[in-house]
Amino acid sequence: MIRVRTAHPGRVRTALLCATALLGTVLPAGGAWAANGAGSAPAPCVASPEPSGGEAKQIMDIARAAQKELDLNAVVLRVTRDGQEVVTGALGESMTGVPATADMHFRAGSVAIVYMGIAMLQLVEQGKAGLDDPVSRWLPDAPHADRITLRMLGASTSGLRDYVPDPKFLAALYADPFRQWTPAELVGISAAHPLWYEPGTSWSYSHANFVLLGQALEKIAGMPLAQVMEQQITGPAGLANTLNSFTPQIEEPVLHSFDAERGRYEESTFWNPSWTTAPGAVLTTHICDLARSAEAVGTGELLSPQSFKVQLDPGTVGLGGNTPGCPPRDCFRQLPAEHFGYGVIVQNGWIQSNPSFAGYAAIQAYLPSKHLAIAVSTTVGPKAPGDNTAQTIAARIAEVLAPANSLAGRK
């Protein structure tokens, strides 16, 4: 299958969706995706019939209560067990008078970081790179390139400052939220500051790590990052509605967002996301793909058992710690309560990512011990709290479905 997408003005990128078979992948009957990204089109992403009882009703009752309590314009969610739908729901409005629907697309944010981590581990499996190779091998001009490794980028232990809290960056971003940022500009902001610490000695989240990781992926794979994402991740996992765009465009139908970050509540749907991560990994998705993504990531189906082990614990220091002797596909049982792996968060057994951007919030979370996936996307009203409201809802759902495994965020 060939997909043609408009890129920068005057450029068209053609990407081939990989149809390579995945060993050990189990596709549930009636699932919402096509095997290995090939074959028949995915089933439509639609809300379940209104549940009258059981877990589905409990979940929707939680979502309704949270929508009112947290002042949310929309709550879209999907929960699966063993790959089978428990419930899919859409509450509230995308815009005034326009109901939210399950097939509406929204920004995937840091989910792309998870995918980049998986793609890098795949290339390591193929012998094209080593996690402890210095970044200078592929990006000689990157800051501190001879002291920072590919492992440090994906595990966020490089010591590079995060450019997002920089006052000058924030001032420029809020002055013009439609600005197109380049990787050189973004990494340059981080490089203008001293390292937070000696590379590899502590942990700190930095967007600069993942801009550089995306650039390194392109060099190692020998193809544009967007093509890496399609051929190695979204195609094999059957994520037909998870797409890159080099512009602020979002695939129709769109879940609109609103935000008060700039001091007034305003439409923020098409604010430019170019600053969020590497070009080629600025993704949008819908709730069925987000739940499917949680399953693909959380089961390790895109990786060998050894690489999946590394993904869950690459030896991260600072937040969490290394767990020697962890058996393949069982690391989550031995990791600390909250831990950053190679692009993923491991928390009380859940393998998750919780993106947030300009009025959007989302979470994809998978609990291997119960084969349980929770995906939630929210958009905020003017009085909504400032934290990730999708994670709040997911945590309340987890209290019902997996009370021994909390998804509540750090206090």
Helix, strand, or coil (residue 310): helix
Pseudo-torsion of CA 334, 335, 338, 341, nearest 10°? -140
Q: What is the pLDDT of residue 22?
A: 24
Show the tokens assigned to 116: 């980049």
Show the tokens assigned to 96: 């005034």
Spatial contact of 108 and 290, defined as CB atoms under 8 Å apart: yes
Q: Is residue 391 part of a domain?
A: yes
pTM above 0.85, yes or no: yes
Pseudo-torsion of CA 298, 301, 302, 305, nearest 10°? 90
User: Does residue 342 or residue 20 have the better pLDDT?
Assistant: 342
pLDDT, averaged across the chain? 88
CA distance 71 to 65: 10
Instruction: Assess whether pLDDT exceeds 60 at residue 36.
Output: no
CA distance 19 to 35: 9
Instruction: Assess whether pLDDT exceeds 60 at residue 366.
Output: yes
Q: Is residue 406 part of a domain?
A: no
CA distance 269 to 309: 37
Instruction: Assess whether pLDDT exceeds 80 at residue 28.
Output: no
Pseudo-torsion of CA 89, 272, 122, 371, nearest 10°? -20
Q: Is residue 284 part of a domain?
A: yes
Q: Is residue 2 part of a domain?
A: no
User: Does residue 365 or residue 338 have the better pLDDT?
Assistant: 365
Q: How many domains does the chain have?
A: 1
Q: With residue 6 as reference, give the H or E element that holds it.
A: strand 2-6
Residue 318's pLDDT band (cuts 50, 70, 90):
confident
Per-residue pLDDT of 141-181, as tens digits, reads 999 999 999 999 999 999 999 999 999 999 999 999 999 99
Q: Could you tell me which residues are beta bridge partners of residue 339? A: 346
Q: Is residue 6 part of a domain?
A: no
CA distance 353 to 168: 28
Q: List the Cα angle 105/288/116 in 5-degree steps.
A: 75
Residue 357's pLDDT band (cuts 50, 70, 90):
very high
Q: What is the pLDDT of residue 317?
A: 77
For residue 50, which amino acid is it? E
Q: Is residue 240 part of a domain?
A: yes
Per-residue pLDDT of 265-302, as tens digits, reads 999 999 999 999 999 999 999 999 999 999 999 999 99
Show the tokens assigned to 189: 């902001």
Work out the burial of residue 97: count CB atoms within 10 Å of its CB; fewer than 13 is exposed, 13-18 middle, 19 or more buried: exposed
Q: Which of 263-272, 330-339, 384-393 bottoms out in mean pLDDT, i.e. has the lowest?
A: 330-339
Q: Region 81-104: what's the mean pLDDT?
A: 98
**CATH number for position 175:** 3.40.710.10
DSSP symbol at 28 = P
Q: What is the pLDDT of residue 9?
A: 27
Instruction: Assess whether pLDDT exceeds 90 at residue 188.
Output: yes
Q: What is the pLDDT of residue 23?
A: 25
Q: Is residue 277 part of a domain?
A: yes
Q: What are the backbone angles phi and psi of residue 168, rounded to the nearest 5°?
A: -70, -40
H-helix segments, 93-238: 111-125, 150-155, 167-175, 183-191, 207-221, 225-229
Q: Is residue 296 part of a domain?
A: yes
Q: What is the pLDDT of residue 101?
A: 98
Q: Region 102-121: what's the mean pLDDT?
A: 98
CA distance 341 to 155: 6
CA distance 197 to 159: 5
Q: With residue 297 as reference, give the H or E element that holds it.
A: helix 287-299
Instruction: Assess whether pLDDT exceeds 50 at residue 56.
Output: yes
Out of 41-50, 273-282, 316-325, the most confident range is: 273-282
Q: Region 316-333: what's the mean pLDDT?
A: 55
Q: What is the pLDDT of residue 40?
A: 59
Per-residue pLDDT of 216-267, as tens digits, reads 999 999 999 999 999 999 999 999 999 999 999 999 999 999 999 999 999 9
Spatial contact of 7 and 13, defined as CB atoms under 8 Å apart: yes
H-helix segments, 16-149: 54-69, 111-125
Share of the chain above pLDDT 70, in %: 85
- Residue ranges making up the domain that contains 68: 14-20+28-43+59-401
Residue 394's pLDDT band (cuts 50, 70, 90):
very high
